[in-house]
Structure 1
Amino acid sequence: MAFNGAINEPYPKPEDLDRSTLSHTQKGFKISARKLPISKSGPIDEMSKSLNIPVPEMIFGDNLVAIEHLASGWRLEFNAYDSLDKVDKTDKNMLKVAYSKEWSSTREKTHEGIKEVVKPFDWSYSTDYMGTITQGKQFTNEDAEPIPIELLKRPDPILFFEEVVLYESELDDNGISVFTCKLRVMPDRMLLLCRLFMRLDKVLVRIRDTRIYVDFNAKKIIRDYTEKEDSFDNVRKGLLTSGRLPDDLTVAMRDPNQLAHLIPEVKHTLETLSL
């Protein structure tokens, strides 16, 4: 969606948000996705000040994915602000690059004019964000069952599909950190995958997945959260061992779908709720 208004005109307006939100209602559940251009400088500065950290270069502050149960009002959404608010705002989880002093000096000048914001934080923008429940019941880990993968493998028609980016950073040319949400809705069920993919070149590869499975008929929701992590060299060696040609490694190292099965799991939680 292009923005052609005056440079100082407030954007997005309420009508832009409404027009850019696509929704599908299935058996009492409303699934919505909104995709808008990268946030403008004003909202970016406001978000940085509110979060107390600089935000990534590409921040889609108005994008979101939401699931709502119309009868009960229960609602879960994924948005850029809340995902970044879960980034560690201390130096406990800061990663090091080969030229860390030079990198840090450059990074401190990224948001000139709001220097009070610049302080140690996890500049890889790694987050353990699993969504925001804006209304209704919370998840519980009691009697939680795994997502029924076999049902998702059935050739059911896909009634609604969207992919939404919440933020992306190239980590000052040291790799990538990107948070995306992808959903597909079938007649009796849906799956939402929200993924943090972070690759710090020559250091680390990290994938954090939140899967939301909804059984429309049973009104049951499962949240499956997984963290995977390994050294950059181990992942690269895994690609070679799996038969990848050396010339293909650069492309493969940018694709989490080609890497996920090679990276060991370091954390897994399973939760559920019934409406």
Structure 2
Amino acid sequence: MVMTSTGVNVNKLPVSEEEHSFGTWQVKYKQSHILHSKCTETSSENGCPIEGSDKLCIFCKFSKEVSLPHLPDMVFPNNLLILKHKSGATIEFNAMDALKKVQHGKMNLKIACSSEWKEARQDTGLVDNEIGSFDWTFSTDYCGTLSGEWVMQNCPDVSINWDRLKQKDKILFFHELTLFEDELHDNGISVLNVKIRVMEWGFFLLLRYFLRVDGVMIRANDTRFYHEFDADYIVREITTREAKISELNIPPTAMADQNSLVPEIPLRRTVIEKLVLKK
């Protein structure tokens, strides 16, 4: 039995799970507790015996497969959002696949303002070799995990129908999940979350990686999925926004409100794709 410091059996913490059908689509989510901070199967500092991923506890599985010097403060390993079409094609959102796209290893990490951050935050506890060995902001360009027979097409001529999304249509289903979060040694925030709403005519989904390094820089990597049920494709829009905070005319009190802040960040990149469902 694995116990937390408060005496709670973490294996028996509640798990929220729902599944709904909308025409040819099934939407399922699972929401549970944060990742343990150490191996739950052995007291050894080396963790679980390496006998295959099916033998590892969830902490050791993440540590082995993600392979970063350390993980974000809060990782939600069992938080999942899955959309499955009747054809078998799926779109999934999970923390492990997102963290696998964080830069790591002996790489020359240089975000736009890393030298400024290092100079301004000498007393944070983030040491020089950590700054150089991996992306300590946990920035990820994760756009979801696709499986099944999708045909992907670059289509700058298609777009999300924002006018339709602004209509006061009945929302049949809404949910939001956090996949991971880190407070960067109390010097900002790095967070990845996903939210979905389903209407009678289709669905809209936003996957957002948001980074704010206080006094230094701000970034938002957004992936939007827009689908009308009578269409055989999904519009996927991928955008990157980034700026030094000194470049933005935004009061500090507004920095915590992502919804109003993100549109003020300069747009650096846009990719629009069609994800076509095979018949």
Q: Deviation of residue 44 (structure 1)?
A: 3.1
Q: Are the equivalent residues in 2 in contact too, given 1:207–1:256 (CA < 8 A)?
A: no
Deviation at 1:273, TM superposition (A): 2.4
1:129-208 equivalences in 2 (<5 Å): 129-142=142-155, 145-208=158-221
Q: Distance in 2 between matches of 1:12 and 1:221?
A: 38
Q: Secondary structure at the match of 1:159?
A: strand
Aligned AA (2:272) = L
Match of 2:95 in 1: 80
Summarize the Cα distance change of 1:230–1:273 in structure 2 as closer, same or farther, 3 Å threshold. Answer: same
1:65 is matched with which residue: 81, 103, 117?
81
Q: Which moved more, 1:143-152 or 1:210-219?
A: 143-152
Aligned ranges 1:28-67 → 2 under 5 Å: 28-41=24-37, 42=39, 43-53=58-68, 54-67=70-83
% of aligned pairs identical?
35
2:34 and 2:190 map into 1 onto residues whose CA distance is: 16
Q: Which residue of 2 aligns with 1:105?
A: 127
Q: SS of 2:223's equivalent?
A: strand
Structure 2: how far apart are the matches of 1:184 and 1:176? 25
SS at match of 2:242: strand
Could you say what secondary structure the match of 1:168 adopts?
strand
Report which stretch shifted further, 90-99 or 129-138.
90-99
Give the unaligned 5+ runs of structure 2: 40-57
Q: 1:246 corresponds to which residue?
A: none
Deviation (angstroms), 1:233: 2.0
Q: State the Cα distance separating 1:20 from its structure 2 match.
A: 2.6
**Partner Cα distance (2:80, 2:64) in 1:** 21
Letter in 1 for 2:194: C
Between 96-105 and 155-164, the greater mean CA deviation after superposition: 96-105
> How far off its partner does 1:147 sit?
0.7
Secondary structure, in 3 states, of the residue corresponding to 1:104?
A: coil
TM-score, normalization by structure 2: 0.80
Whether 1:231 aligns to 2:207 is no
Aligned equivalents of 2:135, 2:110: Cα separation in 1: 6
Supply the distance in 2 between the matched residues of 1:232 and 1:136 (Cα, whole angstroms): 42
**Conserved? CA contact 1:144–1:272, under 8 Å:** no
C-alpha offsets along residues 70-91 of structure 1, whole Å, 9 cap, x if unaligned? 2x10001111001111111123
Give the TM-score normalised by the residue count of structure 1: 0.81
Alpha carbons of structure 1 residues 31 and 93: separation in structure 2 relative to 1, 3 Å: farther
Name which of structure 1's ranges 49-58 and 73-82 shifts more when overlaid on structure 2: 49-58
- Is 1:271 matched with 2:277? no
User: Aligned letter for 2:158?
Assistant: E
Greater mean alpha carbon deviation, residues 96-105 or residues 175-184: 96-105
| 1:91 lines up with 2:108 in the alignment | yes
RMSD: 2.4
Would you say the 8 A contact 1:144–1:222 is kept in 2? Answer: no
CA distance in 2, matches of 1:196, 1:127: 7
Given that residues 223 and 271 in structure 1 are in contact (C-alpha distance below 8 angstroms), is that contact kept between their aligned partners in structure 2? yes
Query: Which whole-Å CA distance do the structure 2 matches of 1:207 and 1:260 have between them?
Result: 7
2:49 corresponds in structure 1 to none
Count residues in correspondence.
246
- 1:262 has 2:264 as partner: yes
Q: Deviations over 1:103-157 (max 9, x none)?
A: 432985xxxxxxxxx9711110111110111222142214751111111112110
Distance in 1 between the 2:154 and 2:230 partners?
A: 21
Distance 1:107 1:256 in 2: 31
Show structure 1 runs of 5+ residues with no match.
109-117, 241-248
